[in-house]
Amino acid sequence: MILYPAIDVLDGRVVRLAKGDFNAVTDYGGDPLAVAQAWRAAGADWLHLVDLSGARDGARRQTGLVAAVASAGLKIQTGGGVRTADDVEALLDAGASRVVVGSLAVSEPRTVIGWIARFGPERIAAAFDVRMEGGAVYPTLKGWTERAERTLPELLADYRRAGLAHALATDVARDGMLSGPNTALYTDLVAARADIAWQASGGVSSLDDVRALKTAGLSGAIIGRALFEGCFKLEEALAC
C-alpha cells in the first residue's frame, strides 16, 4: 500500500477543510513546497496535492508548484478544478504523474473515459466523494451539497471496459474529522472492483487505521490532517 501525504493549497497556503467546507479552514502555513520537501525527507515517494483554489473557482492552476515539487523528487497525483483536457495536459506537462478528476468523473463519465484513452490509465485517477444513504453509496457533487442520481456501483459500471485503473473514495462524513476511515466501504469496493487500484481518503487518525486499510486490500491511503496534527509521524506510518 502506498501512502500519499496530502497537501491542500488554498490561495497559496497549506490548509485542511472539515468535510470540504470552505468556511471551516485550518491553516498550516504558507510554504507548500517546504511541506512537500519535509515529506520527501521523511521517506515519501508520492504526494497528493489538491488545488482548492481551482476546485473553488475553476480558474487557478498549481502548475508552478507541481513543477517545483516534482523537481524535489516526489511523484505527484494532483487535482482540484480539473475541467478540460487542457487542464490535464498542463498538469502532466508540469511534472504530475497522475491527475485526479472529481466532479466530471461523476457528471460526465464519457469525458473522463476519453481522457483515459488519450493520456493512459496510469495518468488519470477518478475521485468519488460519497455519502451513505439507506444502505447505498451515492457520489456527491457541487462541494458535496448534491447527491448523484445513480449509486456508485451503477456509475462504476460505465468505467468497467474503459480502463479505469486508479480511483479514490472519500466518505464525506469523515473527511478532515480524524474519526477513522470507513473501512467497510473500502472492503466492499475492493471486493466488488478488484480491477481498480483503490485509494482511501479521509478520516485516518492513527497507525491502527493505516494497518486496517492495508488489511482491507487498499492500493493507497491519503493522509492529511493526522500528519499535520501530529497524530503520528509519516516515518511511523511508512513502517507499518
Domains of the chain: 2-239 (3.20.20.70)
Question: What is the pLDDT confidence band of residue 145, given thresholds at 50, 70 and 90?
Answer: low
Rounded average pLDDT over 127-141: 92
pLDDT for 28 beyond 80? yes
End-to-end CA distance of the chain: 10
pLDDT computed for residue 161 by the predictor = 87
Closest CA to 170 of 125, 206, 121: 125
CA proximity to 154, closest of 137, 129, 169: 137
pLDDT class of 5 with cuts at 50, 70, 90? very high
Overall average pLDDT of the 114-128 stretch: 97
d(CA 26, CA 31): 15
Residues 51-105: tens digit of each pLDDT: 888 777 666 667 888 999 898 899 999 998 899 999 999 999 999 999 999 999 9
pLDDT of amino acid 239:
95
Look at residue 216 in the predicted model and tell me its pLDDT: 96
Give the model's confidence band at 165: pLDDT under 50 very low, under 70 low, under 90 confident, else very high: very high
Provide, rounded to the nearest whole percent, the portion of the chain with pLDDT above 90. 69
More confident residue, 99 or 179: 99
Q: Is 129 a catalytic residue?
A: yes
pTM: 0.92
Q: What region does 217 belong to: left with phi over 0, alpha with psi -120 to 50, or beta?
A: left
Grid coordinates given for 60: 487557478
* Mean pLDDT of the 159-185 span: 88
* Angle, in degrees to the nearest 10, between helices 85-94 and 63-71: 30
List the catalytic residue out of 51, 87, 129, 209. Answer: 129
Active-site residue identified among 8, 51, 171, 175? 8
Residue 26's pLDDT band, with cuts at 50, 70 and 90, is confident
Confidence at residue 25, expressed as pLDDT on a 0 to 100 scale: 77
Residue 63's pLDDT is 87
> Of 5, 19, 1, which is closest to residue 129 (Cα–Cα)?
19
Annotated catalytic residue 209:
no
